Structure 1
Amino acid sequence: MVLTSQPDTTADLVVRKLNERDVPVFRFDTTAFPTEATMAAQLGGGWGGGMRLGERELELDRVGSAYYRRPGEFAMPASISPAARRFAAAQSRAGLLGVLVSLDCLWVNHPGRNADASYKPWQLTVAEHVGLRPPRTLITNDPDAARRFAKDIDGPVIYKTLAGGVVDDDGVPKGMPTSVVDPDGLDDSIALCAHQFQEWVDKQHEVRLTVVGDEFFAAEIHAGSDDAHVDWRNDYASLSYEIADVPDDVRRGVVELMRSFGLVFGALDFVVTPAGEWRFLEINPNGQWGWIETVTGLPIATALAELLQRGTTT
């Protein structure tokens, strides 16, 4: 079962590999429920029954693995009132996803584990515990605490969002990349919400490490502009890539980090210092990887297809 939106070119890479292996795939976007798709699930030694979408059917007790990519939001009939749409969406989400996440199968990743691992302060706590050396970090809504932190660091300080990084600017979504903070600009607006400040770690380059089961796919990301040196998402056109080897101590730490959160997939970001030290930045439990495969040739889609086909990480 592949849960994702339409279109999703990254999921397409995995579905294509599964099709080449003659593995039956039921691809489903939650926007189709309840207007286009139906479900009838009955409890008795687990959930039995199935789903139907057009001419396709899914028997729930035959699902061997599930790839939870990026399904869309539930779409309710426009003919009912806004209040009824909100109620129906909440019931549909709780019912459909409640049944699906109860299935006894391999999840890549289970939505509950994704949700847990998305809390960045928790990531940093675990990363520090397993020896992945995250930067010194402050989470605060206290302007005075932010100013003290910047003073104590006695060097560049960066600001990073804690959740997503997308805001609504006059109805147009935009990203909020990492930015270097001017200590003199730390004003009282910090009190409006929680903020994440970190020390700047000198970097030779960064690494995007994609983990699939017990397979590691690491790509160095080299910035070709000042903007990309702060955050490589600022200038994709300037980037260059090289396949990297993962140091043994980093590999051990990542294995422990993944195990702590119950993940079988993760996209991790590291800074590599001029001295060659790997410093953990964050893990996205449902991160993008398609472009890394395209520019490096790393067989990530094949690894995901093989994992889903096996239905187990062992």
Structure 2
Amino acid sequence: MLNLIQNEQMKIYRRLRTWILALLLIAIVVLAGLVSHPGTDEDASDKWKVSAAETIEHNKKELENNDLPDKFKQQMKEEIALQQYMLDHNYPPTDNTLWGGAIRASGIIIVVTLFTVIIAGDMVAGEFTWGTIKLLLIRPASRAKILLSKYLTTLLFAVTLLIVLFVTALIVNGFLYGFQNLGLPQLKVDAEGQVHEGSMLVFTLATYGLKLIELVMIVTLAFMISTVFRSSSLAIGLSIFIMFAGQIITMLLLRYSWGKYFLFANTDLTPYLKGQPPLAEGMTLGFSIVVLVVYFLLFILLSWEIFRRRDVAA
């Protein structure tokens, strides 16, 4: 199995296209960091403190309004506790640090997904396009091992690009914002109004990890499509179309109660991490995970069944 994976890795990294995609990803991260950077401001440290103090005073005045709903009062109390804690410990807002830049860079994972879909769409269909499938199947390895090695290689490529994205984002934003806030904690307010410190690295990795789940599902779908079609260009084109059209279709289907079972309504799990409301009633983290597992198993079984029955001589 390791030899098969190594062979598939060589096929990917031997091609100029792969290195162009990697360099393009790095360029996009650098450009995004430069665009989102507010610029050099010597008084930035004082400005956030003034803004935090103003927020505290504003929220205290708003809390005197008896007509304000309890939900908003609770949010304002939590904001007061958070801002006061930041002032007391001299913790600047995350957005103006390298961690904020790294978290914003997680939105570029869509580019990683796109690049990996291009590779996944070519993994099986490309063998038929170039006529190398017969040479591949005359090996002593079974079709199951061959297909698994191609799938694992695709996931390894995705993880590699994700690591490149994360490391590049940290370095770029470190130079832009400075590395002095590398030890900045992630702050969270509980229901009692107590502020707790957590690891910013763990929070950032969790954000990337949840995005990775979405990446794996889309790549698995693209890999399945690659086993259906003999043309790599058709497989890549269809995979990219489904990837971008998925969210549009989701918005249309969510008008119906059964729309929450659609794949792309559950791929983005980051709202659960941030405590945001779900897209539809009845959707929870557990619900989305179950839906994703069902789709994942379906894609894997279809890929295997189609590849097992594929007539190579045709």
**TM tier, smaller:** under 0.3
* Structure of larger gyration radius: 2
| TM-score, scaled relative to structure 2 | 0.23
Structure ranking higher in helix proportion: 2
Which protein has the bigger strand share?
1
- TM value normalised by structure 1: 0.23
